[in-house]
A and B are shown apart, each in its own frame.
Chain A
Amino acid sequence: DTGVSQDPRHKITKRGQNVTFRCDPISEHNRLYWYRQTLGQGPEFLTYFQNEAQLEKSRLLSDRFSAERPKGSFSTLEIQRTEQGDSAMYLCASSFGGNTIYFGEGSWLTVV
């Protein structure tokens, strides 16, 4: 499978705990994106990387969120001190340049 891969697919955590999601983009895609989607809404842009550089962050990305893409390959999204409002599907996507983006299957987060 050469698509965007995300792990874990589902995560249930207690409020206040930290969680980390991993994304492996399509090979040779130089751009990687993180989106968040809640029920009944479209995906909301969080941040994106071009190679290893994080070029843009949405205002939605509070200080508790941090994303990295070391070596310009896989990326991680960490949420510290989770809150119930963080419950959502976290989507990773990749593209070559600014062209069409392709989504992974998403990582569902439930904060209890």
Chain B
Amino acid sequence: QKEVEQNSGPLSVPEGAIASLNCTYSDRGSQSFFWYRQYSGKSPELIMSIYSNGDKEDGRFTAQLNKASQYVSLLIRDSQPSDSATYLCAVNFQISSGSARQLTFGSGTQLTVLP
């Protein structure tokens, strides 16, 4: 069973702090990793994609990937109340032998940024 594991939270951080969200995955063959943000009652919105080991920065967001340890993380600097949402980690898994890779999601971490 291909799995993507996230701490469900809730994670609370004060405004202006760094929020750190973590994700582990089970398939060593995975090559593509994504973070989506989902506000309550809305659909997932892509924030970051990362394909290579190391860090990738985009504004206040930094994605970190370590394939050897099979984890990917998302750092949000200078957190704002508007960042309060559920953050979903997604990994491209090959669901069955011979099949194309499909995006498999974790259950999400709920983040609350306190004013």
Name A's B-contacting residues (CB within 8 A): 33, 40-45, 48, 55-56, 58, 89, 91, 98, 100-106
Contacts and interface: CB of A to CB of B under 8 A. Distances in A.
Interface residues of B, number: 24
Contacts of B88: 42-43
A102 B46 CA distance: 7
A9 B65 CA distance: 36
B45 interface: yes
Contacts of A89: 43
Contact of A100 (B42, B43, B49, B101): B49
Contacts of B17: none
Interface string B34-71: 10100000111110010000000000000000000000
A27 B49 CA distance: 22
Contact of A98 (B36, B45, B100, B107): B100
